[in-house]
Amino acid sequence: MINCVDVSFSYEGNTIISGLNFSVSPGDYLCVVGENGAGKSTLVRGLLGLKKPSSGLISRSLEKGIGYLPQVYSVRNDFPASVLEVTLSGRLAGMKRRFYNKADIRAAHDNLRLLDADGYINSSFSELSGGQQRRVLLARALTAASDLLILDEATASLDPLITRDFYKSVEKLNRERGIAIISVTHDLPNSVLYATHMLSLGEGKQLFFGTTEEWIYSVNNEHLRADWERGAGDV
C-alpha cells in the first residue's frame, strides 16, 4: 500500500530526515516513534502527499485513499454540527457534487455503529466528551477513506481509561476490517500491544523498521519488554 525507498525530506535546503526505507501492507499496524524533532510530522505530511521528498520515492497503491486523524481538532463551543454531520464531512475532500448521497450516509452510519458511537449520532459534536469526540473523528477519518488510516498523536490529552478504549476501537478496525494503520505516538506501553510493526526515527534518520517483536527485543527497556510479554497474549 505504501512503499518508501531511500526517502529524504528537506526544508529550505536543510535535510530533516533521510534514509527512510519501509513499507505498509494491507492489515499492517505500523507504530512510528521518535523524540520531538525526529521528523515524524514531516513524514506524515509526506505520506499524505502534502510534502514532496527531496530525494527517494514514495509509492502508493490505494483504492480508497488515506484517512487522517490529526493530533489537534478544536471546535468552538457554539459550533452547531451534529455527530452525523461531522462524520459525513469526511466525504467532502473527494466530492465533486454538492450533496451527500445514500452511500455516503450509509457509510457514516455504519462507521459510527462500528465504533459504538451511533448512540449519540444526533447529538451536538461540541457537547461530547473528549473520548467521544475522538471516536467520532475516527469514524470521520474512516468515512473519508477505508484503505489506510494515519493517526497523529491521536490519544494526546486523553485520560488513561479513554486512551485504552480508543486503542481498542482502532484495533477493531485493524483486525475486523483489515484496515492498515499508521500511528504516530509517544505512548509506547499501549501502542506496542497492538502494533504489528515499528518504525523508529531519530538523529535525522531511520533507526529501526521491523516487526514489533524484533523491536521489543532490540531496545534496552526491561519494563517495556515485560509489559509487552505480559500483554501481548491478552490483546
Last residue of a domain, one of 110, 144, 178: 144
Pairing between strand 66-69 and 180-184?
unpaired
| Whether residue 195 sits in one domain with residue 157 | yes
| Whether residue 137 sits in one domain with residue 97 | yes
Decide if 133 is inside a domain: yes
Phi and psi, residue 104, nearest 5°: -60, -50
pLDDT at 75: 58
Question: What residue type is 149 in one-letter code?
Answer: L
> How many separate domains does the chain show?
2
Residue 36 has pLDDT above 70, yes or no: yes
The single residue listed with the C-alpha cell 462500528 is: 114
Mean pLDDT for all residues in the chain = 86
For 109-158, write each residue's pLDDT tens digit.
Answer: 998 988 888 899 999 998 888 888 888 988 898 888 778 999 988 777 67
Average confidence (pLDDT) over 219-224 = 77
Neighbours of 3 (CB within 10 A): 15
Decide if 72 is inside a domain: no
- Answer whether 27's CB lies under 8 Å from 178's CB: yes
Q: What is the reported pTM?
A: 0.84
Question: What residue type is 192 in one-letter code?
Answer: V
Residue 235 has pLDDT above 60, yes or no: no
